[in-house]
Structure 1
């Protein structure tokens, strides 16, 4: 009997332990659920608070820095400035609250066409007012003078324009464009633009073709020659940067691009399709034919030719594309953006020849030499005979 009582007590004790264990597990589970719930709530509050804080901050950054402050602050936007650099400049000057917000505001609103110059901006201006002001180019002061560098110029012609505008000897400008010290400084400042390609032994002028054609404003009476060169090279770098991805895809260097663009520039007339001219050059290279473009002969001779004669074609120079296949060692002139873009994206064609009609500038293309000669006789030889009363000139 005693044994039975003992067994019953033991069973009861086991049941009690199990019940107590289960209760402990339930309590632990409740505590864990509470902790998880609290943590989740905290995370939700943090995320919500962060999102709300971010929303409030961005909303604030889109508003004027100080609606009551109409004090004008002079801000100079350099030529070739990016949206990021403009935003950082405006933030530093206290015109906007945050340059990153400014950058995305410009991007999301598809705003572009910012113009370099000096502006009078205030902390009370909205982002819309600021961007419109920089787009329209309302300057605080007018440029003291402007210098226009046309397309298709040789380095010596650009030097003459600079010398005249700065009222300095041409020799001083030419020296700055060619001396080793200047080249070293400029190559260090523009390493992606001015590579060792410009120092090849066959290059006649290292910086030939690298000064971008444009109208440059100046706000000081006597800018230095160095600052003028910097301004033009910077603009070239800005333009070339637009095509960096395509250049990489086509494995084309800046030097090669500017060289091809210079040929297109010198051969193109107002009526010419630069993309077709570009295609002719590429097609001839592909077919292992010399480019045979007259402007390279003139450059090799170092003189501007009204007409290229047979005797001129004999000049012994790596720039003479009648004697040498492929591109010349470097650019033969400065090319505008239209020619740069065409050199990078030629039209698809089978043309191997082109010519411009004498007197009109109309351009005709041919796939064979026979077709080209027929066009030449019709649009050049006969036209010249007519203009000279039937006297035959050297072709």
Structure 2
């Protein structure tokens, strides 16, 4: 009986399946290994994402430390209320599109230990650095609103048209502006201040206005304390800034600034696209080389003192040094205020080797036809006329 009990116990022990414990352990190890891999991948991914956002943040901060728009000449009026914190000032500047980030501005002034900013009205430009803005805020602003108007000088407009714009949008009168354009003392002061720009313009003979061509196309904000003289000088100063990189090239081309801007004004008026201006500049250079009259409607229109879509044969007889149908050369001076793109065309004309001497533009389509001979030119003129009649 005892022996049987032992056998039963032995059977119970041996009834347990062999290898069950080792299989469980292997299962647990596999599960732990998989979990660790998931954790490692997740941590790795989080680190990559974190580094990526750190990189983006670094780039954003570096970009925000620089001027919002280095080439902007726009003047923006900003009011800083009394008691504004650095953070609040940064938010105001960001909303006014003077800086890229108010948060970075706040960080910047703290890191540079800048402060003692004063309340008031300010004129800021997106081209200003954070240091320039900070120093301006430390000096203090105006107790009253600054801007009293804005003058937009568009590409290719004349001094007469600028006078209309000034009278419309400022406290100044057109007549006062035109009188200033003939004030020799004022003009001489500008020449002394900007000799590279104005030496060939001031004192030029037979010109309507000695500053025609020298008031750069841009938007000019005016504060309530600014004089008409200061407004005009801002335009001349901008012109000087834009032309400074080209003075050497103008001299190398054996031209004066007056001659270069005169041709640029004609090219600006005749061209319909920038590409066409390069080609037209080459045509005028070819004609000048052959001592041919430029025969440009732009100059005739300026001589007439009014814009005309179609020039009549009677118009071509106007007695004026600007009438380049009757007079050789470039004429006395610019016929409008051209942008720098027109000057680039003059200094880098295209297709001169093709021998083009004539061109005619379809004013409805903007397409320009070029030709080497007068006969070809006449055929192109007839083609343009037929196209216009057909489209009517």
TM-score, with structure 1 as normaliser:
0.62
Q: Verify: 1:174 aligned to 2:182, yes or no.
A: no
- Alignment-derived partner of residue 146 in structure 1: 150
Q: Verify: 1:71 aligned to 2:99, yes or no.
A: no
Give the alignment partner of residue 125 of structure 2, picking from 117, 135, 145.
Answer: 117
Q: Verify: 1:278 aligned to 2:290, yes or no.
A: no
Contact 1:73–1:122, Cα closer than 8 Å, also in 2 = no
Q: Distance in 2 between matches of 1:297 and 1:119?
A: 40
Q: 1:71 to 1:252 in 2, by over 3 A?
A: same
Give the alignment partner of residue 389 of structure 2, picking from 367, 381, 385.
Answer: 385
Q: Distance in 2 between matches of 1:152 and 1:331?
A: 10
Give the alignment partner of residue 343 of structure 1, picking from 343, 346, 352.
Answer: 346
Contact 2:166–2:173, Cα closer than 8 Å, also in 1 = no
Give the alignment partner of residue 218 of structure 2, picking from 214, 220, 230.
Answer: 214
Secondary structure of 1:364's aligned partner: strand
Secondary structure of 1:355's aligned partner: strand
Secondary structure of 2:229's aligned partner: helix
Q: Distance in 1 between matches of 2:316 and 2:128?
A: 57
Q: Distance in 2 between matches of 1:270 and 1:383?
A: 20
Q: How far 1:358 moved relative to its partner?
A: 3.5
TM-score, with structure 2 as normaliser:
0.62
Q: 1:153 to 1:65 in 2, by over 3 A?
A: closer
Secondary structure of 2:154's aligned partner: coil
Deviations 1:258-294 (CA, angstroms, capped at 9, x unpaired): 1010000111114752110100100011111110001
Q: Distance in 1 between matches of 2:391 and 2:109?
A: 70
Q: 1:309 to 1:121 in 2, by over 3 A?
A: closer
Q: Distance in 2 between matches of 1:359 and 1:177?
A: 35
Contact 1:358–1:383, Cα closer than 8 Å, also in 2 = no
- Alignment-derived partner of residue 331 in structure 1: 334
- Alignment-derived partner of residue 372 in structure 1: 377
Q: Verify: 1:268 aligned to 2:271, yes or no.
A: yes
Q: Verify: 1:356 aligned to 2:364, yes or no.
A: no
Report how many aligned residue pairs link the two structures: 268
Q: How far 1:303 moved relative to its partner?
A: 2.1
Secondary structure of 2:359's aligned partner: strand
Q: How far 1:250 moved relative to its partner?
A: 1.5
Q: How far 1:184 moved relative to its partner?
A: 2.2
Runs of 4+ that moved beyond 4 A: 118-123, 141-145
Q: Distance in 2 between matches of 1:195 and 1:175?
A: 21
Q: How far 1:216 moved relative to its partner?
A: 2.2
Give the alignment partner of residue 296 of structure 1, picking from 288, 294, 299.
Answer: 299
Q: Distance in 2 between matches of 1:119 and 1:167?
A: 27
Secondary structure of 2:172's aligned partner: coil
Q: Distance in 2 between matches of 1:210 and 1:338?
A: 14
Q: Which runs of 5+ in 1 are unaligned?
A: 1-63, 80-115, 131-140, 389-395
